[in-house]
Amino acid sequence: MRGVMRLVTARAGLVPSRPWRFDKSPAGGLPRVRIGHVPLDLGRLDEVLRAVEGLVTGGQGGRILLPDVEQVVRAERDEVLRSALATAELSLAGGPSMIRAAGRLGVPALALEPRAGAQWLPPLATLARERAWRVVVVAERPKLSEWAAGALRDRYGLLAVGVAAPDVPDNGRGPWVDTLIDRIELTRPDLVWVSMDTPKQELFCQHAAQRLHGAVLLGVGSAMESLLVGRGGARARGALRSPWRWLLQRLAFQRVLAHARAT
């Protein structure tokens, strides 16, 4: 039953009208469903933050991804991206479309956390400040990493530094990438916020997680800019630049949902 709920867990305070069955996320044991091939972890804000803290303090590192419509559509035909998404320790809603899609697949409303994309990031930044975690911001857009790290220092009091990554290949690996990861490792980060295009971002995080032992990589994409410049800024600009691409993605996304509901 691809695209629907499977396996285990019940969560305190969740009393659905029928016995829903969920997968478990690798981090925190959050209930996990699938939108097409893409996992989506469900949890209240406090549960998600506890799961993130467990990854950081446990020392094993890992990856947190924020998939949205683009990732769901691409994963249908891109096996490498599909694998990178499926193996992330946490997979949180990258946009409200993912929350609505889960509801359309029948997930009980009480299981859905109405937070998505950049809405997850301010509480996480606050937690990072409280725990004195070292944060590195890696971005491919010119000057975004330095600007974002500065904003995180000024606005949230984080111990943050920026690392520019303008020439990362589409597969997220290579000699230049290994040199970049070595630079990141020198800062001994607890959290690495990565802002790149899909699928480069997800593949870079997958590769870097194998070399940055103990660090947690967070693939934030355009949510980084939205967090810093205001709600929806970067995503809205991207939609205006390529309206036909956005429309085609939405249509493909609807086909994925229709297939998931029928199986």
**What is the model's pLDDT at position 229?**
64
| Report for 5-9, 10-14, 253-257: range of highest mean pLDDT | 253-257
| Band of pLDDT at residue 190, cut at 50, 70 and 90 | very high
Question: Could you tell me if residue 249 is inside a domain?
Answer: no
What pLDDT, on the 0 to 100 scale, is given for residue 27? 86
Query: Sorting pLDDT into bands at 50, 70 and 90, what band is 188?
Result: very high
- The chain-wide mean pLDDT, for the chain, equals 83
The pLDDT of residue 248: 66
Residue 6 in any domain: the answer is: no
pLDDT in tens, 105-117: 888 877 788 888 8
In a domain, 15, yes or no: no
Residues in the chain: 263
Please report whether residue 41 resides in a domain. yes
Whether residue 150 is contained in a domain is answered as yes
Let me know if residue 256 belongs to a domain.
no
H-assigned helices in the chain:
45-58, 69-75, 79-86, 96-104, 121-130, 144-156, 175-186, 200-209, 223-229, 233-241, 243-262
CA distance 66 to 90: 9
Please state the domain count of the chain. 1
Residue 3 is assigned to a structural domain of this protein: no
Whether residue 2 is predicted with pLDDT greater than 60 in this model: the reply is no
Give the CA dihedral 129, 91, 104, 112, nearest 10 degrees. Answer: -40
Report, as an integer, the average pLDDT of 28-55.
92
Can you give the residue range of the structural domain that contains 137? 23-228
137 neighbors 150 (Cβ within 8 angstroms)? no
CA-based diameter of the chain, in Å? 53
Identify which has the larger pLDDT, 53 or 246: 53
Q: What is the pLDDT of residues 141-162, one digit of tens each?
A: 888 999 999 999 999 999 999 9
Q: Which residue has the higher pLDDT, 9 or 96?
A: 96
pLDDT digits (tens, 9 = 90+) for 207-241: 999 999 899 999 999 888 776 665 434 443 444 35
Alpha carbon dihedral 32, 33, 37, 38, in 10-degree steps, equals: -60
Examine residue 260 and state whether it is found in any structural domain, yes or no: no
Integer Cα distance of 146 and 163 in angstroms: 7
